Amino acid sequence: MPHDVPLIATVAVAFVLAFAFGYAADRLRMPPLVGYLLAGVAVGPFTPGFEADMALAGQLAEMGVILLMFGVGLHFSASDLLAVKGVAIPGAVGQIVLATLLGVGLASLWGWGLGAGLVFGLSLSVASTVVLLKALEERNLLNSAEGRVAVGWLIVEDLAMVLALVLLPAFSVALGGNAPGADGHGHGAGGPIWLTLALTLGKVGAFAALAMIFGPRVVPFILAKVARTGSRELFTLSVLAIAIGIAYGSAVIFGVSFALGAFFAGVVLNESRFSHKAATESMPLQDAFSVLFFVSVGMLFDPTILVRDPLAVFAVVLLIVVGKSLIAFAIVLLLRYPVFMGLAVSASLAQIGEFSFILAGLGMSLGLLPAEGRDLILAGALLSITLNPLVFLAVDLIRKRINASRPAGALPYGAEKFEQLQGSLAEAKRLGEEREHAHELRIQALTSAFPVLSMLDAHDQERLLLLFKPKTASPGERVIRRGDRATEMYFISSGAVEVLAGGRTIRLEAGSLFGEMALLSGRRRNADISAVDYCKFLVLERRDFNQFTARYPALRSAFIDMANERRRMNEGSAEEAAESV
């Protein structure tokens, strides 16, 4: 190389190898995640050939964690979780506790301390959302009852892991680790454990309160201002600035982790009307940094663990694939849900992924988890993800055998609870579809009510929708006065107005627009316009109107034609009034 460019070299090699290995994994009907991890192994310090910069890769991985957690918060659905709360909440909590205890027991056999066992067990207890969604999509189970239960189960697991990321640093010293440094992970250990815990939870509570109180007011305001500029790159940049800025600010000011700050940033943005556009615009960068995260995790894996301690690797894989599956299956049956649901959920959870890596990294930084534990977790992730399609295949065979052995007409175990669950899921699905398609429906309603806007493509219609401001008027209220300066134009979404011009009254109803003539000419208003019904308007301010129509000359020409037609109508009305006199 002509000069030292470690960052470019690391990113370039990571992306190229991630693409190659990811594509190969997909062709072998495995999740691309396996390929990303293997790409990291290939450029890591434990394999020959090119060695990426570990320090830079670690920082890129931190960015990946921030954007991963931001995505989790941005797609968090309270309605989906509430629909399956009867099985997902007790099931996930029980499975995490029991799987963690198995991990602690396994770690104790190897002579590890309680802290190492706890981190190790928690890392093995949580499944990968990425792998789960991929597996359910391939089998057309994503929208099925068992698929939605599995997704809800994982939502609870993710929330529990977010809590673990908060609490582990507070208990680090008590568990035999190091006191958290000034890295945004927690508070020092200068006092009793109860004081450390109280301070940690107090900071988290203060941050959460501020985020949920001020976030829904400040974030949409900022995004609305940015959306008015019409710049896609500025909007994308604003979303990323909010995600990374809140994550970093929460770490510096409140001492909480980057991951928690990013999660709350996503939750706040999820509640705004910009959530759909934010998810769409930020997704490519989220995906890119997520790939770098998985590659950097693979770089930490020492593949010689497979030869040095194969029994330990086998025990970890057995715990993940068999132990977790049996625990989940037993819990579903104890909650009196059908066997086929227990089989589907147990297969879905028979792997580990991104949260396992985040927890392992935190455990290493706190001095709780030994390097061998990290290698075992990574080996367990690689092997369990690779074996997951076979687990689903085995579950399908078991399910067919059970169905074949059931007497004709006999109701399956848990049929009553399953019927109740289906009712809750149907209602949640209806609400979810309404929310998911609300954005599209608003655009469809906009173009249906105002056909002139149908000349814009979907992206431009979406952008215009973000520029509109809602406004209402009561019957008899004067909306525009003759002689006023023109500052905005109006689209009538419901109700009707009367235009007094040239001595004659013209009635405009829903689907019409007014106020564009003065904006186009730059003159003062030449008519009085009053509401004759309860009206709802979509208002476009002068600055937004000029900027938007300047970018789309065809739309401006259409408005000019409409203004000329309105002017001819007004002039004709004036002539008719003069002749009648």
CATH code for the domain of 531: 2.60.120.10
For residue 443, being part of any structural domain is answered with no
C-alpha distance across the termini of the chain, in Å: 90
- Does residue 380 contact residue 124 with C-beta atoms inside 8 Å? yes
| Token pair listed for 510 | 């829903």
Cα torsion angle, 520, 521, 524, 525, sign: negative
pLDDT one-digit tens code per residue, 539-574: 888 888 887 777 777 777 877 777 777 666 655 554
Q: What is the pLDDT of residue 159?
A: 80
Calpha distance 323→346 (Å, rounded): 10
The closest of 38, 164, 137 to 348, measured between CA atoms, is: 137
pLDDT one-digit tens code per residue, 285-329: 777 877 887 888 788 788 888 888 999 999 999 999 999 999 999
Question: What is the largest distance, in Å, between two alpha-carbon atoms of the chain?
Answer: 106
Q: Which residues pair with 501 in a beta bridge?
A: 504
The closest of 128, 63, 122 to 97, measured between CA atoms, is: 122
Number of domains in the chain: 2
For residue 7, being part of any structural domain is answered with no
The closest of 291, 249, 304, 223 to 466, measured between CA atoms, is: 223
Instruction: Please report where in the chains the tokens 């300047």 appear, as a residue.
Output: 550
Choose the final residue of a domain: 375, 402, 429: 402
| Token pair listed for 562 | 């409409």
Report the chain's mean pLDDT, rounded to a whole number: 79
| CB-facing half-sphere around the CA of 485: CA atoms within 13 A | 3
Shared domain for 217 and 338, answered yes or no, is yes
Q: What is the pLDDT of residue 98?
A: 94
For residue 319, being part of any structural domain is answered with yes
CA 534 to centroid of chain Cα atoms: 38
Shared domain for 378 and 474, answered yes or no, is no
Shared domain for 120 and 266, answered yes or no, is yes
Domain span holding position 556? 468-580
For residue 509, report the phi and psi dihedrals to the nearest 5 degrees: -115, -175
Calpha distance 319→222 (Å, rounded): 47
Cα–Cα distance list, 307 to 311, 336, 348, 376 (Å): 9, 43, 29, 12
Instruction: Please report where in the chains the tokens 């049956």 appear, as a residue.
Output: 333
Helix (H, G, I), strand (E, B) or coil at 181: coil
Choose the final residue of a domain: 352, 378, 402: 402
CB neighbourhood size of 454 (10 A): 11
- Sequence-ordered list of residues with C-beta below 8 angstroms from that of 341, at least 6 positions apart, any chain: 87, 145, 146, 149, 332, 414, 418
Pairing assessment for the beta strands 513-514 and 469-473 based on DSSP bridges: unpaired
Residue ranges, the chain, pLDDT below 70 = 1-4, 76-79, 179-197, 228, 230, 255-257, 271, 273, 276, 407-412, 428-450, 452, 458-459, 462, 502, 566-581
Q: What is the pLDDT of residue 500?
A: 85
Give, as one character, the DSSP assignment of residue 484: P
- Does residue 17 contact residue 292 with C-beta atoms inside 8 Å? no
Shared domain for 361 and 241, answered yes or no, is yes
Q: What is the pLDDT of residue 317?
A: 94
| Token pair listed for 226 | 């940015």
Calpha distance 132→235 (Å, rounded): 31
Calpha distance 10→292 (Å, rounded): 10
Helix (H, G, I), strand (E, B) or coil at 126: coil
Angle at CA 306, nearest 5°, toward 300 and 308?
Answer: 100
Q: What is the pLDDT of residue 81?
A: 75
Shared domain for 384 and 482, answered yes or no, is no
Calpha distance 293→279 (Å, rounded): 19
Shared domain for 254 and 129, answered yes or no, is yes
For residue 260, being part of any structural domain is answered with yes
The DSSP-derived string for 222-258 is: HHHHHHTTT-HHHHHHHHHHHHHHHHHHIIIII---H
Shared domain for 197 and 343, answered yes or no, is yes
Shared domain for 294 and 380, answered yes or no, is yes
Q: What is the pLDDT of residue 521?
A: 78
Shared domain for 472 and 551, answered yes or no, is yes
Calpha distance 290→85 (Å, rounded): 29
- Does residue 254 contact residue 204 with C-beta atoms inside 8 Å? yes
Choose the final residue of a domain: 370, 387, 402: 402
For residue 152, being part of any structural domain is answered with yes
Shared domain for 365 and 476, answered yes or no, is no
Calpha distance 534→573 (Å, rounded): 27
For residue 344, being part of any structural domain is answered with yes
Q: What is the pLDDT of residue 446?
A: 62
The closest of 131, 129, 127, 124 to 30, measured between CA atoms, is: 131
For residue 38, being part of any structural domain is answered with no
Instruction: Please report where in the chains the tokens 């190492």 appear, as a residue.
Output: 116
Shared domain for 207 and 304, answered yes or no, is yes
The closest of 165, 132, 143 to 31, measured between CA atoms, is: 132
CATH classification of the domain holding 343? 1.20.1530.20
- Does residue 518 contact residue 480 with C-beta atoms inside 8 Å? no
Shared domain for 323 and 210, answered yes or no, is yes
For residue 39, being part of any structural domain is answered with no
Pairing assessment for the beta strands 488-494 and 535-541 based on DSSP bridges: antiparallel
- Does residue 145 contact residue 86 with C-beta atoms inside 8 Å? no
Q: What is the pLDDT of residue 205?
A: 77
